[in-house]
Structure 1
Amino acid sequence: MALRLFEETEHAAAYMKYRRENHQEVINRMMDFMKQKVQQKFNLAVDVGCGHGKGTMVLAPFFDQVVGIDVSSAQLKMAEDNSLCPNVTYRQCLAEELPFESRQVDLVTAMMAAHWFDRPRFLTEVDRVLKPNGCLALLGFPMDMELEYGNATSVLNNICEEFYAALRPYINPYLASSLSKIYLEMFESCTYPDKEWNDCLRVNRMVTVNSFIGMVETTIGYRKLKLQDAAEAKHLSDDIRNKLLAAMQVSSAEAELTMVVKYFYMFARKP
């Protein structure tokens, strides 16, 4: 069965604040893939596991209608409260039970969400709702972002690895193996002959030290540690923050640096 997480209001708010990944480069590649067979503007895109809706809104210029789907009412409220696009709407439902007629959808996508789905049921449901030449696009990234800041880059990434290593014992067993491996298995199980896989697309994003710390704090591993020992979780974050600032030789946690996100993605076109 699919796993249900990230549903409480406090976690949804943290996602809205810190999980603002720049999917645009992957979206551009996705649209290039779609336009290989169909040139005109598309009618309907469905973003499954849409969360706070930031990724959903990126699709708005390319489609007449975009629908974000999520199981979490807290996430959907966050998305609706911050919606800026008149052609984007949201619905609460399961990824494996999409509320669309057969052969109606031009694109089904899931951004950093498909690993939580019942994958065989989800792929069957995608095949039902997609039009001929409709596309499935799944993307994600491991939570081992790299940091770059002048000559301090190597030291910063040693500190990052210390952060990640402290959280590994708390990672959900479901994700104990490589996250990209889960998506590669979905890619290989997809029967569509026209498909594309990329296991590492490096995308740079400017963030503050606090934003980087906040993003890691939204992960399941950190939240599990916080539930078990809130003081220890805070001590870990504070220690990592202080070490990053010392390595950068700055005093403010609002200082900016480059965060490198390593995307993987699969595109597949229904015959």
Structure 2
Amino acid sequence: MTYRLFEDKKHASSYWKYRIAPSDHLIQEVLDFLEKQKGRLFELAVDVGCGSGQGTLLLAKHFVSVVGMDVSPAQLDMALQHAKEPNITYRQCVAEELPFADSSVDLITAMSAFHWFDRPHFLQEAHRVLKPHGCLALLNYTIDMELSYADCCSQTLNQVCKEFYAALQPYRSAHLGPSSIELYREAYESIPYPVKEWQECVWVKRPMPLSSYMGLVESFSSYQTLLRDDPQKATRLSQDICQRFLSVMKVTSVETEVLVAVKYFYLLACKPQGA
């Protein structure tokens, strides 16, 4: 069964504000893989576990129709507020019961969501609804992001990052195990399709205010678990980490822009003809 997280309205709002979507380069890697397998006519894409819809929006200009799906009404409400493209629709649905006919979908994506699904059942369902030569794309990024700032020692800055992540590690869901990348690698190995790709390390750099980096980390399930269990401890941790960043950077404003390096990994697989 899909794990139900990120469902209250405040967290959904934070998710939209701070969560990052895959870069244009990563989306293009998915589209190039799909085009190589089935040609250029892209009719239907389904973004499963779409959250507040940042990734769904990236698919809209490439497909006749895009459907974003999530279990959380609050997340879908947030997605609908920002869905201006007429070819996007959203539906509340669990990942393991996709409301599509057999062999009807060109592309299924899950962007930073697959690790929360009942993975074997979702993969079976994805196989059912994909067209022959349709593709599955599972993308995610790791928590160990790195910061850089002009005239500042990156090693010192990233030591603070590491301590932030280490403080959140005890609150990581047992469902994810020690590293979610292992869950994706296991899925890659289990998919019997002859045409598939596994990419373990793609660094994407994004400029953002320090406040947005803090908001991004605070949107993660581990921080949200700490916030639920001990709000004062969570607030103290954020304040302490933020002040240490400002001290290392020798600035006073949390709106100071930093460069955040995010490490992505992804799995691409093509359903063969006759499968």
Smaller-chain TM-score bracket: over 0.9
Tell me which residue corresponds to 2:30: 30
Q: How far, CA to CA, are the matches of 2:85 and 2:68 in structure 1?
A: 12
Equivalent AA in structure 2 for residue 49 of structure 1: G
- For the residue of structure 1 that corresponds to 2:37, the secondary structure is coil
Contact 1:126 1:136 survives alignment (8 Å): yes
5+ residue gaps, structure 2: none
Tell me which residue corresponds to 2:15: 15
Q: How far, CA to CA, are the matches of 2:15 and 2:188 in structure 1?
A: 27
5+ residue gaps, structure 1: none
Give 1:97 deviation, angstroms: 0.5
Q: How far, CA to CA, are the matches of 1:44 and 1:176 in structure 2?
A: 33
Q: Cα deviations across residues 139-181 of structure 1 (Å, max 9, x unaligned)?
A: 0011121111133211110000111111111111112321111
Contact 2:193 2:269 survives alignment (8 Å): yes
Tell me which residue corresponds to 1:77: 77
Equivalent AA in structure 2 for residue 209 of structure 1: L
Give 1:224 deviation, angstroms: 1.4
Give 1:230 deviation, angstroms: 1.2
Q: Cα deviations across residues 62-106 of structure 1 (Å, max 9, x unaligned)?
A: 100000010000000000111121111100111010010011000
Tell me which residue corresponds to 1:193: 194
Give 1:39 deviation, angstroms: 2.7
Q: Cα deviations across residues 197-238 of structure 1 (Å, max 9, x unaligned)?
A: 000100000111111111111111111111222111111101
**TM-score normalized with structure 2 length:** 0.96
Tell me which residue corresponds to 2:164: 163
Q: Is residue 174 from structure 1 mapped to residue 181 from structure 2 by the alignment?
A: no
Give 1:41 deviation, angstroms: 2.8
Q: How far, CA to CA, are the matches of 2:223 and 2:37 in structure 1?
A: 43
**TM alignment of 1:1-271, pairs within 5 A:** 1-150=1-150, 151-271=152-272
Give 1:21 deviation, angstroms: 3.0
Q: How far, CA to CA, are the matches of 2:21 and 2:109 in structure 1?
A: 15
Percentage identity across aligned positions? Answer: 50
Give 1:23 deviation, angstroms: 3.2
Equivalent AA in structure 2 for residue 181 of structure 1: E
Contact 1:22 1:205 survives alignment (8 Å): no
Gap change, CA 1:199 and 1:46, over 3 Å in 2:
same
Equivalent AA in structure 2 for residue 260 of structure 1: A
Q: How far, CA to CA, are the matches of 1:61 and 1:237 in structure 2?
A: 38
Q: How far, CA to CA, are the matches of 1:37 and 1:163 in structure 2?
A: 42
Contact 2:37 2:270 survives alignment (8 Å): no
Q: How far, CA to CA, are the matches of 2:94 and 2:23 in structure 1?
A: 23
Give 1:266 deviation, angstroms: 0.4
